[in-house]
Amino acid sequence: MASRRQALLLSSSNCHGYNLLEFAKAEISSFLQRNNVKDLIFIPYAQNDFDGYTTKIKNVIDQWGFTVTGLHTYPKPETAISESKAIFIGGGNTFLLLKRLYKNNLVQLMKSKIDDGSLIYIGSSAGTNVATKSIHTTNDMPIIYPPSFEAIGIVPFNINPHYIDKVENEEHKGETRDQRIAEYLEMQHAAPVLGLKEGAILHVDGSKLILKGVNGAVLFSRSQKKSEYNVGADLSFLLNEI
């Protein structure tokens, strides 16, 4: 059966020139409304201050007419996710986030529920990394060892959030973002990498993938040079090619 997945994958929650999540307000609101969702569970695992982080997100999204609750306030995370219709996983550190998702037995549970259409997903930054095939192309430092780099796998490719093609400093010899991604693409197991610029949103709707938000994306693959995509681009081919 075809996947009934529904997701909004944000490059980040912050975008230059906007308040927190403001650039994504229309997309998130209509995504939740279309799916008849009023209540959203926020998963603050990518950071350590669960209460503070949840409050920051709640203060924004509740004003849009929804009700945000932190997953950490439920006695059993597994049960809470089983019974919820929508989740938002925020950014922070991808390794820490994935470690905690595995520890709480949420990775496979989320994948099944998303595939059968009973759970819709919003992710930002690290929350977008863990939505993809694997976390191989996170920008974060590996501050804790997760049981695997494989992730929820809503889409069968990788995403690099906060994508930027500038070099840090012309006199600095550290690798650029493109060089880091090229290192990944040399691996036999490498999937294509979609670099989401800040402000970009990938809308996953069953077998359709559309680029939304206020900024575009860049696609890297083993066989081709990088290609640029603007807001509105149809990237559905990425769901079939692999």
Query: Annotated active-site positions, please?
Result: 125, 140, 162
Does 149 bind a copy of itself (CB under 8 A)? Our answer is yes
Contact 146, 95 (CB under 8 A): yes
Q: Which stretch binds a copy of itself (CB under 8 A): 23-31, 89-97, 103-111, 211-219?
A: 89-97
Rounded to whole angstroms, the Cα distance separating 78 from 107 reads 10
Contact 211, 27 (CB under 8 A): no
Does 140 bind Ca ion (CB under 5 A)? Our answer is yes
Q: Which amino acid is at 69?
A: T
Q: Which of 104, 101, 119, 109 is nearest to 40 (CA)?
A: 119
Does 137 bind a copy of itself (CB under 8 A)? Our answer is yes
Shortest Å distance, C-beta 93 to Ca ion: 6
Does 227 bind a copy of itself (CB under 8 A)? Our answer is no
Neighbours of 221 (CB within 10 A): 18
Does 141 bind a copy of itself (CB under 8 A)? Our answer is yes
Does 142 bind a copy of itself (CB under 8 A)? Our answer is yes
Nearer to a copy of itself, 52 or 142 (CB): 142
Q: Round the CA-based radius of gyration of the chain to a whole number and report it.
A: 17
Kindly list the residues in this chain that would bind Ca ion in the complex (CB under 5 A). 140
